[in-house]
Amino acid sequence: MKHQAKLQEKVKALFTAIEEAEQQENAAHKGADLPELDEASALPAERLEQAVQQLEEELQEKPRTRP
């Protein structure tokens, strides 16, 4: 029981810290969308296509062996 009480206390402190960080972030961005969630930050289609092609080439050169 003593261990559980300490754990609950730590969890509560973590949630408090998370809430405070979120409030600071919201205040800093004044309610605007965060850059990491913005549609503009998504991979451009060209870069995505290049990455897919590169992965396909690597798989053809070194096919995955199954155990």
Mean pLDDT across the chain, nearest whole number?
78
Q: What percent of the chain has pLDDT over 90?
A: 10
pLDDT digits (tens, 9 = 90+) for 12-30: 999 999 998 888 888 887 7
Other CB atoms within 10 A of residue 19 CB:
10
Q: For residue 62, what pLDDT is reported?
A: 76
Confidence of residue 35 (pLDDT cuts 50, 70, 90): low
- Please tell me what DSSP assigns to residue 38: S
Burial zone of 37 (CB within 10 Å; 0-12 exposed, 13-18 middle, 19+ buried): exposed
Is 0.75 topped by the overall pTM? no
